[in-house]
Structure 1
């Protein structure tokens, strides 16, 4: 998760939007936004400092976890730039009567949860956040601690084995890859969701975490919970794709966008209105079984301009400890040591003459004064997928804004044999469609507006 604080990113503020009718004609949609700054008297580099710290923790745990283990809904999706957290956010409606909560959208998290009070456990109120009053919802159904669901099925989601009485709810202590955590009890609840045709529908029996306590960075301080989109039997993705068709999509607005700028997270068919005119849609294989619960892709190389970089093939092979995933919860892009050195060396050659700076305390190697720098002087960086598909991100996605007049190469070195992670800054301004049923990933350039 899980959470990646302050800076250029932050995924998500989603606003439910209407619609429901036939499964063939509608899709689920949520607004999605990105936001980033609420710290008092921040340093010029505070966002990238926080992002680096949280991303590094997240990547370490991702690597450890990997080694050991027809219409639809429409939800708003936007940057967390204005909230001081490096995530994207959306809004969901939970319970009966339905209450609205702002949540982090995370493709690396399996559990959906909200700040919650149940049977006297949990916060009465939280500053700038909402608390779900479970006992006020007629559709709230706790999961019992003596059930097979608790003792076996939810063991992967950190269910706690202690069960003093048959009436005791199934408890969890959910740990995120960035060091944050949430504690509470599992339940089944009703979600009210907007559809792409303008109507509204309800989904009953969704697994949700009623979190009485959570600890983490800016994302937890500014949001009400997490929307878990990882590939898991108990994630929001599993339920939504089963109902609305086996795919979901999102378009991440620029990570420096303000909260009034958003696009959508959609489960079901992708509306053509979110793409740019005549987009260059490309498709590659989505490997759903090799690095669960993450969304893995087969990258075979990286080029800069017309030059294919000399990167050992084992960097991309899962059996050698590598492999590559897309992760909405990581801001920067992590590359295994050999790939990282090849990429930054290749880009440096085209930044000769641009004054380099090493900001004090900033744990990122390559930053430059670029007030008068023309992006077009930097060659196109391209990721090459098995089968010939190519992903060419915008230059501002790999020479990223760190402070006024200063930009940095948006890559982090992952030491030794490690998983490569394509973060959300690299993904911005593209429409991404995850087709779970067909095991494909499609993408195309988009304004996301």
Structure 2
């Protein structure tokens, strides 16, 4: 087993999606009537009682910080072995598409009711297809499921375990293949190869102590279209994880990888659905009966939001790879543009900004954080500050009588003139009954900034990979 750097995916604070499909199946290249494929999102949180909820918040923040460190480390070491992105996978509109009017659409729900800080999806894997609950993550390159491949080992005694022996379309990738030795190197494929036909193995290790060990394979994923039909996506790269450790992973059956790189699920789905995907994150405190959607292709919700949509450039590849970057020019508080050095926003100067569905809070590089936190604290000075420690968050207060109108509004300005104006609840957040905190964290400079999923909530986000642009609009997401 070789020593490798930390993996490109994380199970700290992620998205989890729920896919529901019927029994009608279409081949992947078939042209079908008007429709789309969409996923419903549910976010998982913790208990509602005061002390337990505060402790749960601390634990989630610790995982958030660990995830940020992992992303930063991956960026530092990734330059010498840059992974292949989707530049050639989604070159233009209409390439390998099922139909420009057809989309892949599934429910998304907040993870509050599952005891973890992610959004969750059910995906049908194998032939015949079986449902599995997966963590979905913009920062993850590999889709994997909890699996029982080695018949010599004791079988997992739980429902959400994939059994390759029961699937007619499961095909392992040989350890002697170029795919294993070269193409999957950045996904932590191992060098051991007892015989040429043995499966290509991987070993993921995480900064929070979590780990997933298994083998690479190709498998069929069955997806629902919004017109009610199904389609089979064949030869999708998946991981079959035999050994899994870590508390976050115990609540789910695996991970849906959505990073901008060839091995990810995005590589398979986006090129078939007009080179784009979108999601709308419900309030992070919503229960699982409140649903939104993850969509590959043209979202039906997009047409209702056309008048409100704003667009900005997506930064893809290069120093950002395999993440989704944006060009920011500055931040204003209460209508005043803050004095933040330009290099904070420049990927080639040690900075840069990414959109991340798997990190809950928003991290700002120290020069930006120092400028932002001051005026926000000043606008909250009428409320009594609390000394209760809430992890790394600097400023918390007694929220009795709180009015969002008292808070100076934060606006993120993009280089091309677009403005993102999140609601106050996205950066002044509830952490326990009667306690709110400024939901921003400082990152030691030089460092990348991250717009987390709480800051993204109650907005529709469309990632157009073909045109390299990001569209967004305020939305209730329901």
Aligned to 1:347: 376
Aligned with 2:437 (options 384, 389, 408): 408
Aligned to 2:456: 427
Change (3 A) 1:398 1:24: farther
Contact (CA 8 Å) 2:57, 2:390: kept in 1 or not?
no
Q: Does 1:16 align with 2:44?
A: no
| 1:31-180 paired onto structure 2 within 5 Å | 31-37=40-46, 43-69=52-78, 70=100, 71-120=102-151, 124-126=155-157, 130-176=160-206, 178-180=208-210
Output one character per residue of 1:79-120: Cα deviation in whole Å (capped at 9) or x when no partner: 110011011001100001110000111000000000000022
* SS in structure 1 at match of 2:75: helix
Shift of 1:23: 6.1
The separation in 2 between residues aligned to 1:411 and 1:88, in whole angstroms, is 20
The separation in 2 between residues aligned to 1:438 and 1:175, in whole angstroms, is 35
* SS in structure 1 at match of 2:40: strand
* SS in structure 2 at match of 1:152: helix
Contact (CA 8 Å) 1:275, 1:446: kept in 2 or not?
no
Output one character per residue of 1:344-375: Cα deviation in whole Å (capped at 9) or x when no partner: 10101111121111214633211111121110
The separation in 2 between residues aligned to 1:371 and 1:263, in whole angstroms, is 31
Aligned with 1:392 (options 412, 415, 421): 421
Q: Does 1:305 align with 2:314?
A: no
Structure 1, 31-40 or 202-211: larger mean CA deviation:
31-40
| 1:226-265 paired onto structure 2 within 5 Å | 226-265=255-294
* SS in structure 1 at match of 2:308: coil
The separation in 2 between residues aligned to 1:81 and 1:123, in whole angstroms, is 33
Aligned to 1:285: 313
Aligned to 2:237: 207
Shift of 1:122: 6.5
The separation in 2 between residues aligned to 1:328 and 1:190, in whole angstroms, is 25
* SS in structure 2 at match of 1:132: coil
Which consecutive residues of structure 2, in runs of 5 or more, have no partner in the other structure?
Answer: 1-8, 79-99
Output one character per residue of 1:191-211: Cα deviation in whole Å (capped at 9) or x when no partner: 111101111111110000000
Aligned with 1:334 (options 363, 371, 378): 363
Shift of 1:4: 2.3
Number of aligned pairs?
442
Shift of 1:179: 4.7
* SS in structure 1 at match of 2:165: helix
Shift of 1:300: 1.3
Change (3 A) 1:445 1:57: same
Change (3 A) 1:422 1:121: farther
The separation in 1 between residues aligned to 2:396 and 2:340, in whole angstroms, is 23
Change (3 A) 1:175 1:424: same
Contact (CA 8 Å) 1:357, 1:369: kept in 2 or not?
yes
The separation in 2 between residues aligned to 1:155 and 1:386, in whole angstroms, is 35
Which consecutive residues of structure 1, in runs of 5 or more, have no partner in the other structure?
Answer: none
* SS in structure 2 at match of 1:44: helix
* SS in structure 2 at match of 1:64: helix
Structure 1, 135-144 or 169-178: larger mean CA deviation:
169-178
Structure 1, 365-374 or 12-21: larger mean CA deviation:
12-21
Aligned to 1:216: 246
| RMSD over aligned Cα atoms | 2.0
The separation in 2 between residues aligned to 1:44 and 1:208, in whole angstroms, is 35
Q: Does 1:4 align with 2:12?
A: yes
Output one character per residue of 1:376-405: Cα deviation in whole Å (capped at 9) or x when no partner: 111221111111111111110000110011
Contact (CA 8 Å) 2:19, 2:124: kept in 1 or not?
no
The separation in 2 between residues aligned to 1:157 and 1:176, in whole angstroms, is 13
Shift of 1:38: 5.8
Contact (CA 8 Å) 1:17, 1:30: kept in 2 or not?
no
* SS in structure 1 at match of 2:405: helix
TM-score normalised by L of structure 1: 0.94
Output one character per residue of 1:270-327: Cα deviation in whole Å (capped at 9) or x when no partner: 1137856x65210000011231000000111100121011111111111221100000
Structure 1, 70-79 or 95-104: larger mean CA deviation:
70-79
Change (3 A) 1:24 1:417: farther
The separation in 1 between residues aligned to 2:398 and 2:21, in whole angstroms, is 42
TM-score normalised by L of structure 2: 0.88
* SS in structure 2 at match of 1:341: helix
